[in-house]
Amino acid sequence: MRINGKGLIDRSTPISFSFDGKKVQGFQGDTVASAALAEGRKIFGRSFKYHRPRGVMTTGSEEPNALVTLHSGAAQDPNMRATTQEIFEGLQVRGQNAWPSVDRDLMGVNDLLAPFFGAGFYYKTFMWPGALWEKLWEPMIRRAAGLGALSGEHDTSRNEKAYAFCDLLVIGAGPAGLMAALTAARAGADVILADEDARLGGRLLLEDEEIEGKPGHVWAADVTAELMGMDNVRVMTRTTVTGAFDQGTYGALERVAQHVAAPSNDTPRECFWRIVAKRAILAAGALERSVAFANNDRPGIMMAGAVRGYLNRWGVAAGQKVAVFGNNDNAWRTARDLKSAGVDVVAMIDSRKDATGEGDFPIITGGMVSDTRGRSGLREITVQSASGDQKFEVDCLGVSGGWNPSVHMMCHMNGRPAWDEATQSFLPVDNMVPGLKAVGSAAGKFSTQAVLEDAHAEAISALLDLGLTSADTVIPTAEDGAHNIEGLWEVPHISKGYKRAWLDFQNDVSTKDVRQAAKENFASVEHMKRYTTQGMAPDQGKNSNVNALAILADATGRDIPTTGTTTFRPPYVPVSLAALGAGARGKGFAPERFVTSHQATVDRNAPMIEAGLWYRPSYYPRPGEKTWRDSCDREVNMVRNAVGVTDVSTLGKIDIQGPDAGKFLDFVYINMFSTLKVGRVRYGLMLREDGHVMDDGTTARMGENHYVMTTTTAAAGQVMKHLEFVHQVHCTDMDVRMISTTEQWAQFAVAGPKSRELLNSILDEKIDNESWPFMACGEVSLSGVNGRLFRISFSGEHAYEIAVPSRYGDALFRDLVSRAETLGGGVYGMEALNVLRIEKGFITHAEIHGRVTAFDIGMGRMVSAKKDCIGKTASQRPGLNLDEREQLVGLKPLDGAQQLSSGAHLFTKGDALTADNSQGYVTSVGYSTSLECFLGMGFLVNGRARIGEQIQFIDRLRDIITTVEVVEPVVFDPEGGRARG
Amino acid sequence: MADYIAKTPCDGLLPQTIGSLTLTETAVDRMTSFMPWKGREKTASKALKAACGVAFPGPNETSASGDVQAIWTGRGQCFILGVELPDGLSAEGALTDQSDAWAVMSLRGDAAVDVLARLCPVDLRDAAFKPGDTVRTEMQHMMVSVTRMDDGFQIMVMRSFAKTAVHDLTETMKAIAARA
């Protein structure tokens, strides 16, 4: 019911939306909860386990009951809190965890079975027989329990992440947050003020009180306007700070489009902020807590502060006949506000015998609500007092068991709050989170005046830390009532029969469950929590933790401080994974790196493989070729018989210069480079400090003090980092400089008997075997473009790699390929490249996978005895040089037609095929067109001594069981004559 | 004899205008990395200044003279854009041609800082990152060099990342434009 003249809504702007298909008429400024309450809706949801009807309890993000699902299809958004969801025209809201609807839920039958569903029910009931857990019990429980559901469709919404930096982050914009932000902002600090709500003011919007002689919400609006007008202030509305992390970093979730009727496709739904603040102030206020009494979960039973909140902010009377039940002075405000708005206040019930409040309504001191009636909406309450039991007909009951300061964030770095007897609450202690200070109600200050003074003082203290002096900011005058409270956690249970007093409304945990846990010796608060599931629902126990531990304290005969709290962890409110992972969906998952020949390769319909972040061609299909093997075989033959071209720009290139460059390379490679002649290239192998192989490649000496190192594609970044490390840590004296030039040069392999013929058609100065023998390098010119030419071979053929500045890469690639085609050759891809190198026994990271040594790959003797190098000492450990180690070998099937596969295991003939008999494994395979059979490379125990042996080859995944012959790794042209020719 | 066509890293990708934001490619003809030899930091800076008018920039700084710009890119390392450096400078430090290695882009518009605040985890507030300031950081998953200009930001990524960089920037520009 709306009350005329009350509320901060804009009654000139009506907005309609639907709740479970029924039209609801609200106004600009309404939430789903306020608009639906105004129309008399009682049931907003069904509880998790028992499907009990539940109504709205609060006005904020802590709401345990009124969880709803928004939208449908891919945009379906479950577990949204009706209390914070702003309405907009056309919004579709659906109740959840109920069938067919929250008003008539057939799953409510669960509630009748409740006596069997007590604490630890799952653990006790579904333990036996064990085999049934996954098949029967778990699916059954999953179906029956739960809250909202996802659609199962691909989420197409856009989300965002962002970074922000400030001097002072103020978390919460109630009176404390506004005061702190204003004080700091006027002093010139760079301030971020974040609040969950669309409108700043916090409880000032929910209360009927004055600051500086004007209504609290007006003061809040004035301060908001001043802050919004300042360049050094960023006001972030609809933004919940979710966690405190190291180094003054805070997570914050901004709801960007969830209140907008038709956001554009480009509008992010949510934005997850990482805010780095030099200092932070937690002005998160306090949350009102309930009292446990029988049937305290009926729709219509709300927090007292929420009842007057709906009245003052939204002009909504949550009931027509309202009672208020509390243990503190604050609860009386609800009765007074309702009365002055003309709502029938049936009774003000205060559990304190000496309560002294006044009001024009029936007052019962020393009384407690002991039971209620009304399954689908509160109808009656029973009040026990010295004068016996009285029953009252009511449709709404406001309850206040006191207020819990929001210490959540203060505990994110494992700090524990301290119990304060006077306020009957846990308060933050000093230095729980470095640089973060709780102020106002979050620090246990409960009058508005005390809140403003505290916030002002702590803002000044933060300014001092920041090296700023505060300008004169006068603390306004405000309400300054005392916070009188007498602890009340549970109304003594006098009713007969099976009745439950609820603690955790979201997870259906009652006082009985907590007592049962204690009885079964789950007496630690952390054990009780897990045994009963109290505090493990989406509200994370904001509404129930303190109450539950108070009951546990009572059940175990301890006091509250000894019992202690459970651990608060981020996030403060549920955060969608879509927001946390914003930008990482689809192509955002990883960047794509493209070579300059990419477009030309795509034009030739080559399927791509991913090599790290790079995209490389797998093979280049030609008309008539049915499988990749057809193309691959043709490309291999082309290289062996004519000439092939492929892009090798992805290999790492590192420019190394300086008087000590040679010495430096001697230290990072196992072999010598200082002795390499200018204009020559050498193959090199480098080890990690643990003596295992890190990477291999060729390094060219371009000048006296100038080398160009190449790395594998996979290890380019790792090697660059390694070189920097070695220089900065081990070789600080060496005058050597290095920088990546991978991207500067587009580099192409030109391989095959006709490679020189092809190159001579484009080089400005022709080459021959005298001027460019095998392993020669130098600068060349192509149509006036300066390039580099290296006579190196990864195919075993007479081959070169030619490099030009990347801007010419596309043009040169197209030119090389078309010229190769006129010579009977063409372009080849990674599959052919792989076959060519397997025939030659050349290794890749399939072989040097991180667990092999130079000894294992047959390069032990390359480790120079004349010098030290990284990994040398470690590589000489006896265990790394044993015959029993798995050594690199070649493998050839006895049956020429037999397919081989990498990943297969090798077994000595006659051995049982069991895991512990494995003699090694296969790392690479390919079909050799030259030998007309498959070839493999792999590691075999004492392999070099077993050349010629027949062994069993087993691939369980692909069902390949065959016999192979162990051969030398180099199968094709072992003398290497082709490369030198 | 062929005449090889040169292509810029963002060929076919830029320019793009979204709302009041623009992303353009800055054509860089010459870009050279310069790393002074051991103990020659001061003389190298003097020689650099004599050669092209810019001093060796301090960490997170740039120096400029006319069209020549020196951008700090790391420990003992800067990139010099817009000039062909004399070979003689190699007596003072290692010179390496980087003219083709990087895609250089300019992001302009009032909300340019909001775009980068969604991609780079660094403090870009006016007071912390003034015109002429530079930083090596990451943009989404790519390492970048970001320099504040008088009217926007200069962003450099390694050439092969150009397409992803333009994609990430333009998608964020769309989101920023949609919020406006």
pLDDT digits (tens, 9 = 90+) for A834-862: 999 999 999 999 999 999 999 999 999 99
- Separation between Cα atoms, residue A407 and residue A429, nearest integer Å: 10
Which of B89-92's residues contact partners 24+ apart within 8 Å by CB, and which partners? Answer: B89/B34, B89/B47, B89/B48, B89/B51, B91/B47, B92/B36, B92/B37, B92/B40, B92/B43, B92/B44, B92/B47, B92/B48
Q: How confident is the model at residue A471 (pLDDT cuts 50, 70, 90)?
A: confident
Is the domain of B20 the same as that of B63? Answer: no
Residue A820 gets which letter from DSSP? H
Place of tokens 């920097």: A724
List the one residue out of A599, A570, A656, A717 whose CA is nearest residue A252.
A570
| DSSP H or E stretch at residue A419 | strand A418-420
Contacts of A105 (CB under 8 A, 6+ apart): A46, A51, A53, A98, A99
Structure confidence at residue A140 (pLDDT): 63
- Give CA torsion, residues B157, B160, B162, B168, to 10 deg: -90
Q: Give me the residues of B, 8-37, that contact A with CB < 8 A.
A: 8-9, 33, 35, 37
B45 near B58, Cβ under 8 Å? no
Is the domain of B104 the same as that of B175? Answer: yes
Place of tokens 């030739």: A604
CATH code, domain carrying B139: 3.30.1360.120
Q: How confident is the model at residue B180 (pLDDT cuts 50, 70, 90)?
A: confident
Q: What is the pLDDT of residues A23-70, one digit of tens each?
A: 999 999 999 999 999 999 999 988 888 888 999 999 999 999 999 999
Is B51 part of any domain? yes
Question: Considering Cα of A619, then A624, then A626, then A631, what sign does the dihedral take?
Answer: negative
Six token digits for residue A80: 């949204």
Q: Do A805 and B99 touch (CB under 8 A)?
A: yes
Contacts of A385 (CB under 8 A, 6+ apart): A349, A364, A365, A366, A367, A368
Contacts of A170 (CB under 8 A, 6+ apart): A177, A180, A181, A184, A191, A192, A193, A194, A280, A281, A283
Residue A839 gets which letter from DSSP? H
> pLDDT above 90 covers what percent of chain B?
97
**Domain range spanning residue B91?**
31-97
- Separation between Cα atoms, residue B111 and residue A16, nearest integer Å: 35
Is the domain of B70 the same as that of B141? Answer: no
pLDDT for residue B153 is more than 60:
yes
> pLDDT above 90 covers what percent of chain A?
86
Q: Do B121 and A735 touch (CB under 8 A)?
A: no
Which residues is B149 bridged to in the sheet?
B152
Structure confidence at residue A912 (pLDDT): 94
N- to C-terminal Cα separation, chain B:
54
Is the domain of B22 the same as that of B41? Answer: no
Q: What is the pLDDT of residues A602-657, one digit of tens each?
A: 999 999 999 999 999 999 999 999 999 999 999 999 999 999 999 999 999 999 99
ipTM score of complex = 0.97
Determine contact: B125 vs chain A, CB below 8 A. Answer: yes
Structure confidence at residue A434 (pLDDT): 96
CB atoms within 10 A of CB A4: 9
* Total number of domains constituting chain B: 2
Structure confidence at residue A495 (pLDDT): 52
Burial zone of A155 (CB within 10 Å; 0-12 exposed, 13-18 middle, 19+ buried): middle
Place of tokens 């024009």: A360
3-state secondary structure of B154: strand
Q: How confident is the model at residue A130 (pLDDT cuts 50, 70, 90)?
A: low
Nearest CA in chain A to B126: A232
Average pLDDT over residues A362-385: 95
User: Residues of B with CB below 8 A from A737's CB?
Assistant: 35, 37, 76, 93-94
Give the pairing of strands A92-95 and A67-70: antiparallel
Structure confidence at residue B165 (pLDDT): 98
The number of C-beta contacts closer than 8 angstroms across A and B is: 137
Is B5 part of any domain? no
Is the domain of B20 the same as that of B75? Answer: no
Structure confidence at residue A893 (pLDDT): 96
User: Residues of A with CB below 8 A from B120's CB?
Assistant: 163
Q: Where is the domain boundary, B97, B128, B149?
A: B97
One-letter amino acid of B9: P
* Strands of the B68-74 sheet, one edge to the other: B62-65, B68-74, B77-81, B31-36, B93-97
Whether the link from the prior residue into A139 is cis, omega within 30° of 0, is no
- Give CA torsion, residues A429, A430, A436, A437, to 10 deg: 70
pLDDT for residue B148 is more than 80:
yes
Structure confidence at residue A473 (pLDDT): 84
Q: How confident is the model at residue A537 (pLDDT cuts 50, 70, 90)?
A: confident
Q: What is the pLDDT of residues A964-973, one digit of tens each?
A: 999 999 999 9
pLDDT for residue A468 is more than 70:
yes
Is B6 part of any domain? no
CATH code, domain carrying B71: 3.30.70
- Judged by average pLDDT, the poorest of A359-373, A448-462, A487-501, A908-922 is A487-501
Is the domain of B23 the same as that of B35? Answer: no
Q: What is the pLDDT of residues A881-894, one digit of tens each?
A: 999 999 999 999 99
Nearest CA in chain A to B101: A744
Average pLDDT over chain B, rounded to whole?
96
pLDDT for residue A269 is more than 60:
yes
- Separation between Cα atoms, residue A536 and residue A412, nearest integer Å: 16
Q: Do B101 and A741 touch (CB under 8 A)?
A: yes
Is the domain of B86 the same as that of B108? Answer: no
pLDDT for residue A127 is more than 60:
no
pLDDT for residue A136 is more than 90:
no
CB atoms within 10 A of CB A399: 27
pLDDT for residue B68 is more than 70:
yes
Is B8 part of any domain? no
List the one residue out of A829, A954, A830 whose CA is nearest residue A891.
A954
Q: Give me the residues of B, 136-165, that contact A with CB < 8 A.
A: 140-142, 158-165
3-state secondary structure of A703: strand
Structure confidence at residue A103 (pLDDT): 78
pLDDT for residue A146 is more than 70:
no
Phi-psi region of A845 (alpha: psi -120 to 50; beta: other; left: phi over 0): alpha
Is B3 part of any domain? no
- Judged by average pLDDT, the poorest of A99-103, A139-143, A673-677, B72-76 is A139-143
A673 near A666, Cβ under 8 Å? yes
Q: Give me the residues of B, 59-88, that contact A with CB < 8 A.
A: 76-77
- Separation between Cα atoms, residue A314 and residue A316, nearest integer Å: 5
Give the one of B8, B161, B167 whose C-beta lies nearest to A587's C-beta. Answer: B167
Q: Where is the domain boundary, B49, B66, B97?
A: B97
- Distance of residue A743 Cα from the nearest chain B Cα, in angstroms: 4
Is B104 part of any domain? yes
Average pLDDT over residues A919-941: 96
Is the domain of B72 the same as that of B159? Answer: no
Give the pairing of strands A160-171 and A270-282: parallel
Structure confidence at residue A106 (pLDDT): 72
Q: What is the pLDDT of residues A780-835, one digit of tens each?
A: 999 999 999 999 999 999 999 999 999 999 999 999 999 999 999 999 999 999 99
Q: Do A592 and B163 touch (CB under 8 A)?
A: yes
- Judged by average pLDDT, the poorest of A46-60, A97-111, A574-588 is A97-111
Six token digits for residue A670: 């196992």
Six token digits for residue A664: 């430096």
pLDDT for residue B1 is more than 90:
no
User: Residues of A with CB below 8 A from B104's CB?
Assistant: none
Average pLDDT over residues A146-175: 92
Give the one of B140, B159, B161 whose C-beta lies nearest to A583's C-beta. Answer: B140
Q: Do A594 and B160 touch (CB under 8 A)?
A: yes
Contacts of A885 (CB under 8 A, 6+ apart): A853, A855, A856, A941, A942
Is the domain of B118 the same as that of B153? Answer: yes
Structure confidence at residue A574 (pLDDT): 93
3-state secondary structure of A891: strand
Average pLDDT over residues A409-437: 95
Can you point out the beta strands (E) in A554-619? 608-611, 614-617
Q: Do A591 and B142 touch (CB under 8 A)?
A: yes
Q: Do A739 and B127 touch (CB under 8 A)?
A: no
Q: Do A815 and B4 touch (CB under 8 A)?
A: yes
Question: What is the DSSP track for A186-223?
Answer: HTT--EEEE-SSSSTTGGGGTS--EETTEEHHHHHHHH
Phi first, then psi: give them for residue A723, nearest 5 degrees: -60, -45
Is the domain of B175 the same as that of B107? Answer: yes
- Distance of residue A783 Cα from the nearest chain B Cα, in angstroms: 6
One-letter amino acid of A810: D
Average pLDDT over chain A, rounded to whole?
94
Residue A425 gets which letter from DSSP? E
Q: How confident is the model at residue A559 (pLDDT cuts 50, 70, 90)?
A: very high
- Separation between Cα atoms, residue A117 and residue A80, nearest integer Å: 27
A325 near A314, Cβ under 8 Å? no
Is the domain of B81 the same as that of B137? Answer: no
Is the domain of B116 the same as that of B91? Answer: no
Q: Where is the domain boundary, B76, B97, B118?
A: B97
pLDDT for residue A126 is more than 90:
no
One-letter amino acid of A385: S
List the one residue out of A421, A427, A463 whose CA is nearest residue A445.
A427
- Distance of residue B87 Cα from the nearest chain A Cα, in angstroms: 14
List the one residue out of B98, B44, B126, B128 whose CA is nearest residue A742.
B98
Residue A902 gets which letter from DSSP? T
Q: Do A591 and B2 touch (CB under 8 A)?
A: no
Give the one of B117, B161, B172 whose C-beta lies nearest to A163's C-beta. Answer: B117
Structure confidence at residue A156 (pLDDT): 85
Which residues is A749 bridged to in the sheet?
A646, A801
Residue A727 gets which letter from DSSP? I
- Distance of residue B119 Cα from the nearest chain A Cα, in angstroms: 7
> Between the CA of residue A900 and those of A46, A271, A895, A934, A936, what are the distances in Å?
60, 51, 11, 6, 7
Determine contact: A231 vs chain B, CB below 8 A. Answer: no
Is B63 part of any domain? yes
- Judged by average pLDDT, the poorest of A190-194, A271-275, A881-885 is A881-885
- Distance of residue A63 Cα from the nearest chain B Cα, in angstroms: 29
Determine contact: A498 vs chain B, CB below 8 A. Answer: no
Q: Give me the residues of A, 568-627, that contact B with CB < 8 A.
A: 583, 587-588, 590-596, 614
List the one residue out of A21, A17, A1 whose CA is nearest residue A102.
A21
Is B10 part of any domain? no
Does the pTM exceed 0.90?
yes
Q: Do B141 and A161 touch (CB under 8 A)?
A: no
Q: Give me the residues of A, 124-183, that contact B with CB < 8 A.
A: 158, 160-165
